[in-house]
Chains A and B, each alone.
Chain A
Amino acid sequence: MTGRRFLTALPLLGFLAFGCTNDAPQDDDRGFSKIVYAVRTHTIVGEDGSVSVDVAGGMGQVMDYLRYNPGARLEIRDLNTGVVENIIDGDRYKNADVSSFDVSFDAQKVVFSMKLSGDDDYHLYTADVTRGETEKNPFNIHQLTFGPHDDIHPQFVSGGRIAFVTAQPYTEMGTRADEYNHSRIVTQIGTITVEGGDADRKLCSQNLSHTINLRALSDGRVLFSRWEHLENVNDVKLFSMNPDCTQMVAMGGQHGKPANSLVQLVETKDPNVFVGVATSREDTIQAGALVEINVGAEHDATVVDEERAVMTVITDGVPTGEEPSPVGRYRAPAVLPDGRILTSWAAGFVNALDELALSPPDFGIYIYDKKTKTNELVVNYEGSWELYALPLTPRAEPPIIGSIQNSQDPTVPVQLGSIDVRSTSLAFVHGETVSGAQFDGTPTDVALASADRVRIIEGFSSEAAAGVNMFGLTMAEGAAILGEAKVEEDGSWLAEIPPFIPVHLQPIDEFDLAIRNQTTWIQGMPGESRVCGGCHEERVGVNTPTNQQLSIAAGRGAQDFMVAVNDRIEYPWINATAGNPNEIQAIFNDKCVACHNGTTNGSRAQEYYTVTVTDEIAGTAVPYQVPRLDLTDTPVTVEYDMEVQDWPASYVSIFYPAAMEMEMDDAMVAGTVPPMWGIPSDARNSKLIEKLNVTSVNDAGIHAWPLGQGFTDANIQGASRTDHAAEVGLTREEIVKLIRAIDMGGQYYARQNTDFVPFDNNPLGRNY
Chain B
Amino acid sequence: MKIRNAFIGSLVAAATSLLVTASAADVSPEKIHVGRSHVYKNLSPESLESTSSPERIRQVTAGNTAPTEIWTVLEHGERVECLDCIPDVAKLMYDGHPKTREISVWWLRRRVFGVFNPGANGSPSIYRQVAMTLQDQSQPESRRAFAAEALGEFLVSAGVPFVAEAAVNDPSPVVRLASVGALERLNYEGPGGELGQAMADDNVDVRVRALRASTRINVFTGVADIVQRIDDDSPRVRLKAAQALGMMRATDAVVGLVALASSSNESDPGVRAAAVAALGQIADPGGKAAAQAALEDPDHFVQDAARIALRRL
Q: Which A residues form the contact surface with B (CB < 8 A)?
A: 56-57, 60, 116, 119-120, 136-137, 141-144, 146-149, 169, 174-175, 179, 181-184, 196-200, 228, 231-235, 254-260, 282-283, 321-324, 349, 351-359, 426, 430-433, 435-436, 462-463, 465-470, 473, 475, 514, 516-517, 519, 611-618, 620, 622, 624, 637-643, 645, 647, 652, 656, 658-665, 668, 679-682, 684-685, 754, 757-761, 763
Contacts and interface: CB of A to CB of B under 8 A. Distances in A.
A551 B224 CA distance: 55
Interface in B90-131: 90, 99, 102, 106, 109-110, 112-121, 123-129, 131
A465 B218 contact: yes
A615 B123 contact: yes
Given A143-B301, A322-B72, A613-B86, A231 B37 contact: yes
Interface of B: 5, 8-9, 11-12, 15-16, 19-20, 23-24, 27, 31, 34-40, 42-44, 46-49, 51-54, 64-69, 71-72, 75, 77-84, 86-87, 90, 99, 102, 106, 109-110, 112-121, 123-129, 131, 154-158, 160-161, 185-188, 208, 212, 215-216, 218-220, 236, 239-240, 243-244, 246-249, 270, 273-274, 277, 280-281, 300-301, 304-305, 307-309, 311-312
A343 B13 CA distance: 27
Contacts of A60: 67-68, 71-72, 99
Nearest to B83: A613
Contact of A616 (B90, B116, B273): B90
A466 B158 CA distance: 9
Contacts of B82: 663-665
A282 B71 contact: yes
Nearest to A197: B308
B80 A662 contact: yes
Contact of B43 (A519, A620, A624): A519
Contacts of B119: 615-618, 620, 622
Given A232-B40, A465-B187, A665-B82, 18 more contacts: A144-B304, A144-B308, A174-B218, A254-B47, A256-B44, A356-B64, A356-B66, A466-B186, A468-B155, A469-B154, A517-B39, A613-B86, A614-B114, A637-B113, A658-B35, A662-B81, A663-B81, A757-B219
A660 B36 CA distance: 11
Contacts of A141: 300
Contacts of A615: 119-121, 123
Contact of A321 (B27, B38, B218): B27
Contacts of A656: 112
A351 B48 CA distance: 21
A189 to B, nearest CB: 19
Which 3 A/B pairs are nearest by Cβ-Cβ distance? A661-B35, A199-B311, A469-B155
B72 A283 contact: yes
A54 to B, nearest CB: 11
8 contacts: A142-B304, A260-B46, A356-B15, A615-B120, A622-B119, A645-B158, A663-B53, A684-B38
A68 to B, nearest CB: 14
Contacts of B125: 639, 641
A663 B35 contact: yes
Contacts of A232: 36-37, 40, 43, 48-49
A321 B27 CA distance: 10
A324 B44 contact: no
Nearest to B84: A614
Given A618-B120, A661-B35, A668-B84, A466 B157 contact: yes
Nearest to B300: A137
A682 B39 contact: yes
B39 A516 contact: yes
B304 A665 contact: no
Contacts of B247: 147-148, 761, 763
A147 B16 contact: no
A183 B301 CA distance: 31
Contacts of B16: 324, 349, 353
A435 B9 CA distance: 52
Contacts of B15: 353, 356
Interface centre among B99, B131, B240 (most CB of A within 10 A): B99
A356 B65 contact: yes
B280 A663 contact: no
Given A516-B39, A616-B86, A679-B37, A639 B154 contact: no
Contacts of A255: 44
A620 B120 contact: yes
A467 B109 CA distance: 11
A469 B236 CA distance: 32
Contact of A323 (B8, B19, B81, B188): B19
Nearest to A431: B42
Contacts of B68: 56, 60, 282-283, 351-352, 355
A152 B295 CA distance: 26
Nearest to A141: B300
B49 A430 contact: no
Given A257-B46, A352-B72, A760 B158 contact: no
